[in-house]
Amino acid sequence: MEIIYFFCIFTLMNLLVQKKHAPAADRNKEPILEVLKGCLPNHGTILEIASGTGQHAVHFIRNLPNHYWQPSDPNGDSRNSISAWWWEVQLNNILPPLDINTQDDIWSVEKIILPLPVSSLVCINMIHISPWESTIGLMKGAARILPSDGILYLYGPYKVKGKHTAPSNELFDITLKSQNPKWGVRDLEDVKKMASDHGLTFVKTVDMPANNLSVIFKK
């Protein structure tokens, strides 16, 4: 019994060490949640692409009790952080994180059986910190996985008609490209065209804090 006890304590401590915290996720979680409540289907599994720390998964699913939340991230440290956040709340409707790289032809979620079928995809702050090929892969995956009327929700900074919406976004774009020339704030029109090319219809944008946008598509 003592061995089991100490093993559980060791496991918990190890998870807590791996838990990551992003201040931006705390700042934007409530505004994003309000938009999600107004656009997501009434039930189903929400597949989150590039979940990062796991903070969003925990916060959102607490407030979306009719759904399952399937987090994912190609980064192993991020998946460990997602598991650590889950350990604290142990919500039954958060599923174990998956290793998903949107550039893969088949995603791991397509190879498993979920409690409920995927009804929507959520992708927060990925498009500008990944190569354009990741956005192409995201749209291809959404076309494969989403049902008719399924929702794709995107969040982040965007240029509109080729222009930055704020000086801070322009500086952010320069910083991103200095880190990786394949990164950068994307033009919303390019994203909308890529979505349309894969059978997704643009629904609307919603202005968000800190010069970000929520962008909603429907299959």
Range of the domain at 77: 2-218
Mean pLDDT of 171-200: 97
How many distinct structural domains can be found in the chain? 1
Residues in the chain: 219
For the segment 130-170, what is each residue's pLDDT rounded down to a tens digit? Answer: 999 999 999 999 999 999 999 999 999 999 999 999 999 99
Q: How confident is the model at residue 16 (pLDDT cuts 50, 70, 90)?
A: low
Place of tokens 């929700």: 153
Alpha carbons 168 and 97: distance in angstroms, whole number: 33
Phi, psi dihedral angles at 115 (to 5 degrees): -60, -40
pLDDT at position 97 is: 96
Q: What percent of the chain has pLDDT over 70?
A: 92
Place of tokens 């599923």: 95
pLDDT at position 90 is: 79
For the segment 75-128, what is each residue's pLDDT rounded down to a tens digit? Answer: 999 999 999 988 888 788 999 999 999 999 999 999 999 999 999 999 999 999
For the segment 35-89, what is each residue's pLDDT rounded down to a tens digit? Answer: 999 999 999 999 999 999 989 999 999 999 899 999 999 999 999 999 998 888 8
| Long-range CB contacts for residues 159-167, cutoff 8 Å, separation at least 24 | 159/185, 159/186, 159/187, 159/188, 160/187, 160/188, 160/189, 161/187, 161/188, 161/189, 162/187, 162/189, 165/211, 165/213, 166/211
Alpha carbons 213 and 211: distance in angstroms, whole number: 7
| CATH number of the domain bearing residue 129 | 3.40.50.150
pLDDT at position 73 is: 97
pLDDT at position 6 is: 38
Kindly provide the b/e burial profile for residues 140-163, where b requires at least 16 CB atoms within 10 angstroms of the residue's own CB.
bbbbebbeeebbbbbbbbbbeeee
